[in-house]
Structure formats: structure tokens, C-alpha cells
Amino acid sequence: MREFAGATVVVTGAAAGLGRALCERFGRAGSRIVALDRDAAALGHTVDALRAAGIAVFGSTCDGTDEAACREAIRAGAAHHGGLDLLVCNAGISHHGDFAQTRPDVIRRVMAVNFLGAVHCTHAALPELLARRGMVIAISSVAGFAPLVGRTGYAASKHALHGFFDSLRSEVAGAGVAVMLVCPSFIATDIDRHALDPQGHPFRGTKAIAGRTATPAEIADRIYEAARRERRLVLPGATARIAWWLSRLAPAGYARIMARRMRR
């Protein structure tokens, strides 16, 4: 069982939603937090709230699509707290719209944020993680292992995380570094407030939801407990577990059910 008291934990997309909940959860366990987000104002509010709760936190504005910015932010956070033990790749963006009507640059933007942002941060953090036998957690989605109607780019970015982090695990396991993938279903966050429509503009519609919507705190608790046990794959909630097994045992049936519910 890993213990995170005194550990330094980097969380991307830390300003709100699941990222903020993860900062709070690991902070309550005694971790020192490095909070990264591209939204400087929202990040400032989160850092203030964490400090008010007695959590040691270093905040840095960082756009995950900028490799140099990721490297500098993680270097500064590790220097501030004296090392780095856990990286949580949480930052992400979504989009809505059938692929036939979606501009390719929307897909590129989603891939840059969701996939390359995780790659940039992991590459920057890896020397510290190897030196301290640390851990990487990647926040994927049910869309990381199953199809998702109307969000081809989002699903592609999450599938890419699985290929990357499953392969990375095989490279670093011998050095004592753990890699965990988390695949939640629906979480009550503001990700759709920042989602893109098929033309790359802010999405103004409503999201179809199949199953219960979990709170960020609920998912953060499950991630924390799974991280202590060094789980390889976490399916938090009944919807995620049902989707996992159904998509493997009856993939065609899963696709039909998902398409009907999402279209509805």
C-alpha cells in the first residue's frame, strides 16, 4: 500500500472539477500539491482555498499543449516541494458533433489537450518519478475503451491514453514506477462549458447522459484509494463497470445501446 503523506502530487487541470477534488483529497492525506491549470484566475481561487484548508500547495499557470511550459511548471513545482512522487494527468477538453460535420482542427485541438498534454507532462516528470519510484495516474474515460457517438475526437484522445500509458507501464515497472488508468463515466463537472462544437466554437447544446452522474469528490475518493493499492485500471461506478464488460462481451450490442441512448 502506497502512502501519500509527505508526497508531492502534481495535478493538471487543477482549477476546478475533478482536478480540484483530487488536490483536496490528496492534500487531506498530507500530500504537498503542485496545481497546474491554464486558467490563471480559477487556479488562483483553488490555490487560495487549498491553503485555507491547511494544504501545502504550489500553483502554476500551464497550458498542457506547450511542452516547454509543462517542463518549466513541473520543474518549478518539484523544486518548491523538494521532489515529485505522483503525477495526475487530468486536464482535458471535450467536443460534440458528428464527425461528418466536424472540422479536423477540432479533433487536433482535442488530441493536443487530452493526449499530448499528458505526454508532455509525463515526459517532464519522469526523471523525478524514476528517481523516487513514483506513480502516474491518467484520467481516461469510458470513451477510452468503447465507442462514443458524437465525440470521435474525444474517444480517440482517450483511446490514445490507453495505448501510451499501458506501454509506458511495461517500460517503467521494473524501476518501481506504477501507472494507473482511470475510466469514469459521467462526472458533474464543467467540462462541457469549455467543450467545442463542430466548428470549434463553444458548445451551446446539452449533453446526453446515460447513467448516474457522480460528484468529483466521489471519484477523487475512489482514485485515492485505488492509487494506494497501485491498481492498473480503475472503473469507478456501476456504469463504467457495465460498459467495460458489455463492450467486451457484446461489442455490437453495446454500440447499438449506446447509440440509441446518446441520440435520445
Instruction: Fill in the DSSP letter of residue 116.
Output: I
Among residues 26, 115, 154, 186, the one annotated as catalytic is 154
Looking at residue 133, what is its pLDDT? 98
Question: How do residues 12-23 score in pLDDT, each as one tens digit?
Answer: 999 999 999 999
Q: 254 catalytic, yes or no? A: no
Nearest residue to 153 via CA among 224, 86, 99, 205: 99
Question: Alpha helices of the chain — where are they, by DSSP H?
Answer: 17-28, 40-52, 67-81, 104-111, 117-132, 152-172, 216-228, 238-249, 251-263
What pLDDT digit, counting tens, does each position of 184-241 carry?
Answer: 988 888 887 789 999 999 887 665 555 578 999 999 999 999 999 999 999 998 999 9
Residue 109 — very low, low, confident or very high, per pLDDT cuts 50/70/90? Answer: very high
State the pTM of this model: 0.94
Map residue 33 onto helix, strand or coil.
strand
- Select from 233, 248, 237 the least CA-distant residue to 146: 248
What H or E segment, with its residue span, contains residue 8? strand 8-12
The whole-number pLDDT of residue 264 equals 60
Per-residue pLDDT, averaged over 59-66, amounts to 98
